[in-house]
Structure 1
């Protein structure tokens, strides 16, 4: 049997925590996965996995063997990158990216990158929820956040994501236009639930020399996707804090207008995030560079 393939299979069994999940991802049967595990245990002379009909767990030898698998697959990929034509990216690049950010900003960049690298396949997993990079087999995740919080991940800043306050002309006619951030407390606000400042919007004074100020907001809609907030704001439901890049069309046609207050929303940055426990393929490094240049 192919030892290198066995190493790759074991690595994904460990990361996914299931024979069935590994078999589904690797497009083989659970029987093949079991056969490779028995082969590896025979090769190493040690029991690597404790398993029954429902669960699996890893022995101390299995834990050490997983670290060996990570090292071997990383070194193999690094060698293949070094001897492969540097102008020809191939294989599959798995990217996790938020829905709204992908549609409004990154989608055209993804498409252009693939067209410039026709031998490359991009598998895009769009979700506003945080992704388990190792468990889901993702090469890198892209996030629009204030600052990376997970110290187990490496974060590379790709560009800025400025946020602004907007509302529809109809809402402002009925409710009045606020001129200070304190007045937001008495307005209907539309909340993006996955933001770090979801119910307490953060602002910087114009001088930029003071600490951020947070204002508690409430309103008729809380959602985990920004695009629904855009539509709600257009329907006179309240004030929304949104990345400018998401609403360029609405600002141009006048369905939404920007509010100018005595402080401005704390901006976000776009980061590429990947696990420091996994080798980052050359196609992922090139992709990161391409996004940074495009932005």
Structure 2
């Protein structure tokens, strides 16, 4: 049997916690997965997985074998990259990215990258919750943060998103148009709960572009708090209040006059986009090239 394939199967069984999920991912049967596990247990001379009809758990030997699997797969990827560094990319690139950012910004760039490397498979995991990179099978995560709390992670800045304040004509007709940042305290504001400035929006003086002036904050509140920016866009269109969102998310709504950009006495602070990956694991060439592609595309955009 193919020992390396068995190592790959075991790694994903461990990370997914299920024979069935691993079989689905590799498009094979549970019987094939089970056969490889028995082969690995015979090869190592140890019981690696305790399993019954409903659950599985890993023995101490299984836990150590998972660490071995990570090492073998990373060393194999590094070797293949080194002997074919100028060849076409292949294999699978696993990316974790927030939902709104994926749909409005990342998806077109992913399509372009895939067209440039037709042998590559891309698996995009969309979630607004932060994804753990350790033991998840994710090569890199796209996040709007600068310094990961986990010191073992590396964050590479890709570019920045311009954020704008918007509201519907209906809302502005009934509530009035704010002229200053301080006016926002008296308005209904729509809150993105996962932002670092969720309830205290950050601004910079007009003309500063957020580069040489420290941002200042203004406390806001309103009728809707959500962990997805596109929901807030829909709420703004429906007239619920003022939203602070990246311009890239609302180009069509602005063009159709469903939303109007508010011009105040200060500018919303930009939000940088970062590629985050683990310092403890080898970064495949496909991930390195994707990061370079994103950085060039976002900086030029």
**Which TM-score band (shorter chain)?**
0.7 to 0.9
* Alpha-carbon shift at residue 11 of structure 1 (Å): 1.6
2:288 maps to what in 1? 285
**Could you list the per-position Cα deviations for residues 170-227 of structure 1 after superposition, in whole angstroms to 9, with x for gaps in the alignment?**
3223212223333322211112233233233233456767764443322233333222
Contact 1:146/1:268 (8 A) holds in 2 = no
* Counterpart mapping for 1:1-295 below 5 A: 1-84=1-84, 86-134=86-134, 136-145=136-145, 147-204=147-204, 212-252=215-255, 254-295=257-298
* Alpha-carbon shift at residue 255 of structure 1 (Å): 3.7
* Alpha-carbon shift at residue 263 of structure 1 (Å): 4.0
TM-score, L = length of structure 2: 0.85
2:93 aligned counterpart, secondary structure: strand
Provide the C-alpha distance between the structure 2 equivalents of 1:78 and 1:72, rounded to a whole number of angstroms: 10
Gaps spanning 5+ residues in structure 1: where?
none
* Alpha-carbon shift at residue 239 of structure 1 (Å): 0.7
**Could you list the per-position Cα deviations for residues 215-258 of structure 1 after superposition, in whole angstroms to 9, with x for gaps in the alignment?**
33222333332223223323332111011222234445544333
* Alpha-carbon shift at residue 72 of structure 1 (Å): 0.9
**Could you list the per-position Cα deviations for residues 43-77 of structure 1 after superposition, in whole angstroms to 9, with x for gaps in the alignment?**
22233233333333333332222221111111111
Provide the C-alpha distance between the structure 1 equivalents of 2:58 and 2:234, rounded to a whole number of angstroms: 49
Shifted more, 108-117 versus 53-62: the winner is 53-62
Change (3 A) 1:103 1:201: same
* Alpha-carbon shift at residue 264 of structure 1 (Å): 3.3
2:22 aligned counterpart, secondary structure: helix
* Alpha-carbon shift at residue 262 of structure 1 (Å): 4.2
Shifted more, 84-93 versus 156-165: the winner is 84-93
1:142 aligned counterpart, secondary structure: strand
Contact 2:147/2:155 (8 A) holds in 1 = no
Count residues in correspondence.
295
RMSD: 2.6
Shifted more, 113-122 versus 44-53: the winner is 44-53
Provide the C-alpha distance between the structure 2 equivalents of 1:42 and 1:118, rounded to a whole number of angstroms: 38
TM-score, L = length of structure 1: 0.87
